Amino acid sequence: MFRFIAADLRRHWLGVAAIMLLIALATALGVAVTLQERALRLGSARAAAAFDLVIGAAGSETQLVLSSVFLQPAPLPLLPGEVLARLRADPRVAWAAPVGFGDFVGGYPIVGTTREAVEGLGRLAEGSGFSHLGDAIVGADVNRDIGETFHPFHGTVETAGDVHEEVEYEVVGRMAPTGTPWDRAILVPIQAVWEVHAHRDHDDAPATPVNASGPVAAQVKAAHEEAGHEDHDHAEGAAHDEHDHHGHLAEEVDDAALMSADNPGVPAIMVKPKSIADAYNLRQEYRRGNTVAVFPGEVLTRLYGTLGDARRILSAVAYGAQGLVAAAILLVVSIHVLQRQRQIGALRALGAPRAVVFGIVWTEAFAILAVGVLIGFGIGYAGVSVLSERLGSESGVNLPVEFQRSDLWTMGGFFAVTAIVTLLPALLAYRQSPARALRS
Amino acid sequence: MLDLAIDGLEVRFRGLSEPALAIPSLRLAAGERVAVTGPSGSGKTTLINILTGLDRTPTGRVVWKNTDLTALSEGARDRWRARNIGLVMQDFHLFAGLSALDNVLLPQRLSRFRLADAVREEALRLLSRVGIVRPRQPVETMSRGQMQRVAVARALVAKPGLLVADEPTASLDAESGGAVADLLLELTREAGSTLIVASHDARMTDRLDRVLRLESGRLV
Ligand SMILES: Nc1ncnc2c1ncn2[C@@H]1O[C@H](COP(=O)(O)OP(=O)(O)OP(=O)(O)O)[C@@H](O)[C@H]1O
Ligand SMILES: [Mg+2]
């Protein structure tokens, strides 16, 4: 029986291949919608996992998450400096680290933060943490080696500004991969960012472009007059020991300076609460007045709730396409069976039992469609992998393309539908009279 | 061996006012070699379909030895046919993509779980007997004469008690037709089977023991 089926498939290989391809593409469409949506959802959820609680100035919660977790540049309103100081002193807070943007280099955003953020996001793969203001830690995907130095450019990756010639950072460490956009970020001490923008305002204030970091610079200018100079003088003696830093960034990082309420503002603060209860308390407390506190996971869930409708539409389109392809192919197979009724009659006339004829037609049709479905899952997976790879390297978000248990059910469902649908041509063959064999 | 008794047989098709076949009574003895002749449309194929259980009719009885075909279900007739009948058809019905040997064995493979070695040996013996020297040759590459000889080997491989052929030589040239006719006669004689051949071909019909002539569905 299988020899006969194999010979028949070989003889009609072109048509068989065409049908398989159609089925495969229709299946791939549906698989791709599911896998891609899942990759986006899981990828962004995993990217947000390290961020328990994010606090920003009152404004769009979604934008706050996009800017802090996904490092999307946007003009965020600033939190007053005292919020950071208050959070760092709060007993419910394990650590609180600012997220300050403003500069970039070579397409990588420079993020001002503190050493806690490095540990909170992952760990150092090599090198050491910040000790001087001019130290930088690069994300896993940043194309800079330890020991390299660079001048930051003002502005964001999209709105290229001019170079801070007088400022030079040195790469001292590299993060282990986190699968988040932070893999493409360069982390520097937030104090350095404040310094850079304060000095920039001193030196060439008229040329400062109005953009996202404008307010930072303005605030730094004010703050620098009082607190900044003190730090400067205080750290002077300890500088120039092991690193050969230039300019204003030779000082050691002094975390105590973060406790000053007079520090410049920051756009966002990531907070690691000590317990879940603390997390909810803090969120409650900082959702009042001119601050907003969000669980990024929650914001993403809400976002996906909205996008879910789009996915449902896409799925419906994919199912529609699958249904049409299935119907068209069923028609082709049935016509094929009817055209071959003499051959089928001959099999019966030669002594093949009806059940065997039924089995041959069913097995043949099912094999073609089932292989098409399997190939479709493969094509869908491969397509989404390529797309996610590309999207991932652009955004830095690691998009995991993975099958889940529920996909087995989907595949099982496809096979079940295929098995049922192919009963039709098999029944057509079953019902055919063997007497046809002798008539032309 | 099988002997045949037909009583009160009548076959009608929708759209025809007269029955396509009407045989009040017919007896054949086991081992008899019978030709069925008659002009085109006289009912030869209709008769063969009834005799082999491929078709059935509500009126009349067709009894082979102890088996009344008209009383059997379709599945039972399939099984009876697989056990008792070898069939040779005008247009061969060989299956492209399979070798001559696989074609000879196909009906056995489809109706049995396991192919006995003896059946394979018999197939090879019959193929060489009908003059096929390359049993592994794909059938679609064979000449029409060779194809019909493969079909003859296929019809005989299960040693059926009854060999039925419908126009076995009609689509062949005179020479290969003659060879097939010879083979049918020789091989059924060797096996001792009953032979029924529907044919216009005088070379075939003249050499059989008995000739049944049909005209408009009636024996004359
Ligand atoms: N399924 C059918 N429906 C209607 N009429 C049929 C059907 N099958 C056969 N007939 C008619 O029955 C008659 C006998 O046909 P049959 O095929 O038995 O003739 P035949 O003797 O085999 O002819 P030929 O020598 O051309 O093969 C013809 O008139 C044919 O048209
Ligand atoms: Mg005929």
Write out pLDDT tens, residues A284-309. Answer: 999 988 899 999 988 888 888 887 78
Distance in Å, alpha carbon of B115 to nearest chain A alpha carbon: 12
Please determine, for residue A246, whether its predicted confidence score (pLDDT) is greater than 70: no
Poorest-pLDDT segment among B37-41, B82-86, B200-204? B200-204
- A354 inside 8 A of chain B by CB: yes
Which of B106, B112, B136 is most worth mutating to test chain A (most A CB atoms within 10 A of its CB)?
B106
Distance CA B185, CA B163 (A): 10
Q: Are A4 and B48 an interchain contact pair (Cβ–Cβ within 8 Å)?
A: no
Confidence at residue A193, expressed as pLDDT on a 0 to 100 scale: 82
Atom of ligand 1 nearest to the CA of B48: 18
Instruction: Assess whether pLDDT exceeds 70 at residue A436.
Output: yes
Query: What pLDDT was estimated at residue A209?
Result: 36
pLDDT score recorded for residue A159? 61
Give me A281's structure tokens: 């308390």
What is the reported pLDDT for B28? Answer: 92
Q: Are residues A285 and A425 in the same domain?
A: no
Q: Which residues of A touch B98 (CB under 8 A)?
A: 3-4, 7
**Residue A389 CA to ligand 1 centre (angstroms):** 67
How far is CA B4 from each of CA A34, B20, B67, B162, rounded to the nearest angstrom? Answer: 67, 20, 9, 11
Q: Where do the domains of chain B lie?
A: 4-97+156-219
- Which two structure tokens, joined as six digits, stand for A437? 């064999």
- How many whole angstroms from A383 Cα to the centroid of ligand 1? 57
* Closest residue by CA, ligand 1 atom 11: B20
Amino acid in position A110 = I
What does the alpha-carbon distance between residue B163 and residue B180 come to, in Å, rounded to a whole number?
14
Cα(A253)–Cα(A244) distance, integer angstroms:
15
Average pLDDT over residues A270-287: 91
Residue B196 CA to ligand 2 center (angstroms) comes to 13
- pLDDT computed for residue A366 by the predictor: 93
Based on the domain organization, do A84 and A208 belong to the same domain? yes
HEC states along chain A? CHHHHHHHHHHCHHHHHHHHHHHHHHHHHHHHHHHHHHHHHHHHHHHHCCCCEEEEECCCHHHHHHHHCCCCCCCCCCECHHHHHHHHHCCCEEEEEEEEEEEEECCEEEEEECHHHHHHHCCEEEECCCCECCEEEECCCCCCCCCCEECCEEECCCCEEEECCCCCEEEEEEECCCCCHHHHCEEEEHHHHHHHHHHHHHHHHHHCCCCCCHHHHHHHHHHHHHHHHHHHHHHHHHCCCCCCCCHHHCCECCHHHHHCCCCCCECEEEEEECCHHHHHHHHHHCCCCCEEEECHHHHHHHHHHHHHHHHHHHHHHHHHHHHHHHHHHHHHHHHHHHHCHHHHHHHHHCCCCHHHHHHHHHHHHHHHHHHHHHHHHHHHHHHHHHHHHHHHHHHCCCCCCCCCHHHHHHHHHHHHHHHHHCHHHHHHHHHCCHHHHHCC
Q: Do the chains contact at B87 and A349, CB–CB below 8 Å?
A: yes
Q: Which residue has the higher pLDDT, A230 or B185?
A: B185
Mean pLDDT of A178-192: 87
Phi/psi-derived region of residue A319, left when phi > 0, alpha when psi is between -120 and 50, beta in every other case? alpha
Cα B193 to averaged position of ligand 2 atoms, centre (Å): 22
Are A4 and B93 inside 8 Å of each other by CB?
Answer: no
Q: Quick one: pLDDT at residue A219?
A: 40
Nearest to B78 among A11, A353, A435 (CB): A353
Helix, strand, or coil (residue B189): helix
Residue A374: per-residue pLDDT: 94
A316 and A406 inside one domain: yes
A interface test, pick of B52, B57, B73, B78 with most A CB neighbours within 10 Å: B78
Q: What is the pLDDT of residues B174-191, one digit of tens each?
A: 888 888 999 999 999 988
- pLDDT value, residue A221: 41
Q: What is the pLDDT of residue A36?
A: 87
Looking at residue A311, what is its pLDDT?
82
A343 touches chain B (CB under 8 A): yes
SS3 B8: strand
Task: Determine which of A12, A350, A354, A357 to mutate to test the interface with B (most B C-beta atoms within 10 Å).
Answer: A350
pLDDT digits (tens, 9 = 90+) for A23-78: 999 999 989 988 988 888 888 888 888 788 999 998 888 888 888 888 887 788 88
Distance of CA B135 to CAs A1, A187, A196, B81, B139, Å? 19, 78, 90, 26, 9
Identify the pLDDT of residue A223: 41
Residues A267 and A374 in one domain: no
| Tokens encoding A387 | 């797309």
A439, B49 contact by CB (below 8 A): no
Using CA atoms in the order A255, A260, A263, A267, what is the torsion angle rounded to 10 degrees? Answer: 70
A330 alpha carbon, distance to own chain's centre:
40
- Token pair belonging to A352: 């093949």
Q: Is B91 helix (H, G, I), strand (E, B) or coil?
A: coil
Q: Quick one: CA dihedral A438, B187, B131, B133, positive or negative?
A: positive
CA dihedral of residues B82, B87, B93, B95 (deg, nearest 10): 40
Residue of B42, B48, B55 with the most ligand 1 atoms within 8 Å of its CB, for mutation: B42
Residues A41 and A64 in one domain: no
- Phi and psi (nearest 5°) for A298? -70, -45
Structurally, how many domains does chain A consist of? 2
**Ligand minimally distant from the alpha carbon of residue B46:** 1
Q: Are B137 and B115 in contact (CB under 8 A)?
A: no
Q: Do B81 and A349 touch (CB under 8 A)?
A: yes
Q: pLDDT digits over B144-175, tens only?
A: 999 999 999 999 999 999 999 999 988 888 88
- Taken in order B199, B205, B210, B211, the sign of the CA dihedral is positive
Question: Tens digits of per-residue pLDDT, A338-373?
Answer: 888 888 889 889 988 889 999 999 999 999 999 999
pLDDT reported for residue A75 = 80
Instruction: Say whether pLDDT at B115 is over 70.
Output: yes
Atom of ligand 1 nearest to the CA of B217: 14
Residue finishing a domain among A263, A294, A325: A294
Answer whether A99's CB lies under 8 Å from A66's CB: no
pLDDT number for residue A161: 65
Question: With 70 as the cut, is the pLDDT of residue A232 above it?
Answer: no
From A349, which residue of chain B is nearest by alpha-carbon distance?
A: B54
* A342 contacts in chain B (CB < 8 Å): 93
Query: For ligand 1, is residue B19 a contact (CB within 6 Å)?
Result: no
Distance from CA of B114 to the nearest CA of A (A): 11
Compute the distance between CA of residue A358 and CA of residue A362 in angstroms, rounded to an integer. Answer: 6
Is B73 buried (19+), middle (13-18) or exposed (0-12) by CB count in 10 A?
A: exposed
Judge if A342 and A378 occupy the same domain.
Answer: yes
How far CA B79 is from CA of A58, A170, B52, in Å, comes to 84, 89, 11
Question: Contact at 8 Å (CB) between A368 and A325?
Answer: no
Residue A218 confidence (pLDDT) above 50: no
Residue B99 DSSP label? B
A71/A211 same-domain check: yes
- Amino acid (1-letter code) at residue B143: S
pLDDT: which is higher, A131 or B24: B24
Q: What is the pLDDT of residue A226?
A: 40
- Partners of residue A169 on adjacent β-strands: A150
In terms of CA atoms, which chain A residue is nearest residue B103?
Answer: A4
pLDDT at A201: 56
Nearest residue of A to residue B167, measured between CA atoms: A438
| A349/B110 touch (CB, cutoff 8 Å), yes or no | no
Residues A270 and A345 in one domain: no
% of chain A at pLDDT higher than 90: 22
| Ligand nearest to the Cα of B50, by number | 1
Residues A270 and A312 in one domain: no
Mean pLDDT of A407-417: 91
Domain membership of residue A72 as a residue range: 53-294
pLDDT at A237: 37
Q: Does A332 touch chain B (CB under 8 A)?
A: no
Architecture of the domain whose range is B4-97+156-219: 3-Layer(aba) Sandwich (3.40)
CB B199 within 8 A of CB B35: yes
**Statement to judge: residues A98 and A217 lie in one domain:** yes
Choose the final residue of a domain: A275, A294, A313.
A294
Structure token digits, residue A348: 């019966």
**Percent share of chain A, pLDDT over 70:** 85
pLDDT bin (cut points 50, 70, 90) of residue B128 is: very high
pLDDT given at position A199: 63
- The answer on pLDDT for A160 being more than 70 is no
Q: Is A1 within 8 Å of B54 when comparing Cβ atoms?
A: no
User: Across residues B56-79, what is the average pLDDT?
Assistant: 89
Q: Do A284 and A359 share a structural domain?
A: no
Residue A356 touches chain B, beta carbons under 8 Å: yes
